[in-house]
Amino acid sequence: MEQTVATFYQFADLSDCNVWQRKLRTHCKKYNVLGTIILAEEGINATISSNSEGIKQVIDFIRKDERFAKMTFRTCRTIRKTFYRIRVVVRKEIVTLGDPSINPNDQVGTYVQPKDWNKIIQDPDVVVVDTRNNYEVELGTFKGAIDPKTETFCQWDDFVKQNLENHKQKKVAMFCTGGIRCEKASSHLIKNGFEEVYHLKGGILNYLENINPEKSLWEGECFVFDHRVSVVHGLEDGEAQICFGCRWPLKTEDLNSEKYEPGICCPHCADSLDPVRRKSLVERNKQIQIARKKNREHLGQDVPLNTKKKRALLEQANKKAQTKR
């Protein structure tokens, strides 16, 4: 069944985020809205899915608060199941950089509209940086962009210190999925002495939605954090799938590999998968197939977005933030 997927974020003073958590969870359940909504004292960041009326009800509810009255959002249609539940969580940041001193409401880089993006990234004097993580870049990016090779956004500061320190006098143009990481990344660069910082307004999703594929400089697919896994031009569903063994997004060549076992492993993890983990994945996959035959949902279907390694890195970022306070 076709559904609407909406993405949005807004930096704002949300000291009452715990109250919002309860209200939003209730409102989403009332209108059968699924997805992930992240709340923090710095604002809101979300991807939700439902029918068009459900999406409208949630957006209108949020916009009734004057702090979010001008909040923009992006929607697209899909026939894929994007989420299996609603999660409304409270965190220290709506996108984890690990530096509480960075506030996009104070300063951000210069926004670049999609129609002007090609010109700026083709300028040989511009340093183009993809602010996303390694598994996202693997699926697609803009030609010539620097891959920071990070596993989480909290590694951004280390990447800058090691790779961009000598570019402070140059123009830096950055991009991410929907724009939120660039809000913080650009603010971080400006605070650290970079003179000219630009970022793609609305991110890759805005570019793919508005730029003719024949004129596009985007290569590959764009990773998204739901069961669609990826999208392409026009925000149509992509072909990528996720590996439940290691969480890596898989391209066509990965899916055709003899090391690919649906729901279990892929070429990126097959050789390192220990027997205990394999047994667990085989059993999980078995239960999912049984649930599907009975037309039921199984929690194991959720995309495993939180690996032990990522959790450890996020914990490090939180400790770093507490130290800076």
As annotated, the active-site residues are 176
Instruction: Determine how many CB atoms are found less than 10 A away from the CB of residue 274.
Output: 8
Token pair listed for 78: 């899909």
The CA distance from 305 to 303, in Å, is 6
Contact 17, 41 (CB under 8 A): yes
The CA distance from 221 to 243, in Å, is 16
Tokens 């509209």 correspond to 113
The CA distance from 166 to 160, in Å, is 10
The CA distance from 41 to 81, in Å, is 31
Tokens 């590959």 correspond to 220
Query: DSSP readout, 128-171?
Result: EEE-S-HHHHTTEEETT-B----SSGGGHHHHHHHHTGGGTTSE
